[in-house]
Amino acid sequence: MTVHLHEEDLPPGIFATGQSIAVDTETMGLLTPRDRLCVVQLSDGGTDEHLVRFAPGSDYAAPNLRQLLADPDRLKLYHFARFDLAAIRHYLNVVAAPVYCTKIASRLVRTYTDRHGLKELVRELLGQELSKAQQSSDWGASNLSEAQKDYAASDVRFLHAMKAELDLRLHREGRMALAQSCFDFLPARAELDLAGWPEVDIFAHV
């Protein structure tokens, strides 16, 4: 695997037209309006991963990246899409859909466990080990370490293969249509988070 680091935008023409893209983000924390977007990771499921890093004070113009993420004909794969969609919407001002979320898919078919983290999914579905040692590191640092770059890349490295395995289970359990409905709602769920309803169930009676 080769990890490519780009500053402020993705070079044009890296990904084929219509190709599904795995997407992840690294931020300074978990509060989207406060904790700036630092890195966007991308993979087409091949041997290369691409990281786009944003400096403090960035205007997040990134025309090539924004066009890629906003492409309505390109499926975007995430793990916990809700967070990434909100960060991308807030900082890059695009809705990065259509969406497939491996965490939602896992919750729908792996009902025998409450462990739906990326590390657990990679281990069970693909038989590989994923290190989370850099999860809480400083993504706003002026220089990213090799360990940080590899960690960031690994968050998108396995999503295409995981989707294939999860799709088999969704079809087997008759839950593909339900999963698709959940995926379709995720951009709206991210908008609710940004608008001030992060933990409120607006569909609840009380």
Give the pLDDT mean for 88-94: 98
- CATH number of domain containing 74: 3.30.420.10
d(CA 114, CA 65): 34
Q: Is residue 183 part of a domain?
A: yes
Q: Is residue 141 part of a domain?
A: yes
pLDDT at 145 over 90: yes
Q: pLDDT confidence of 132, banded at 50, 70, 90?
A: low
pLDDT value at position 95? 98
Which of 24, 15, 21, 20 is CA-nearest to residue 151? 24
Q: Mind giving me the DSSP string for the chain?
A: -EEEEEESSPPTT-S-TT--EEEEEEESSS-TTTS-EEEEEEE-SSSEEEEEE--TT-----HHHHHHHH-TTS-EEESSHHHHHHHHHHHH-----SEEEHHHHHHHH-TT-S--SHHHHIIIII------TTTTS-TTSSS--HHHHHHHHHHHHTHHHHHHHHHHHHHHTT-HHHHHHHHHHHHHHHHHHHHT-SS--TTS--
Query: How many structural domains are present in the chain?
Result: 1
Give the pLDDT mean for 58-71: 98
d(CA 181, CA 56): 37
Per-residue CA distances from 107 to 18, 34, 83 (Å): 28, 29, 16
pLDDT value at position 133? 65
Q: Is residue 200 part of a domain?
A: no
Structural domain including 99 reads 2-195
Q: What is the pTM of this model?
A: 0.95
Q: Is residue 203 part of a domain?
A: no
Q: Is residue 29 part of a domain?
A: yes
Q: Is residue 206 part of a domain?
A: no
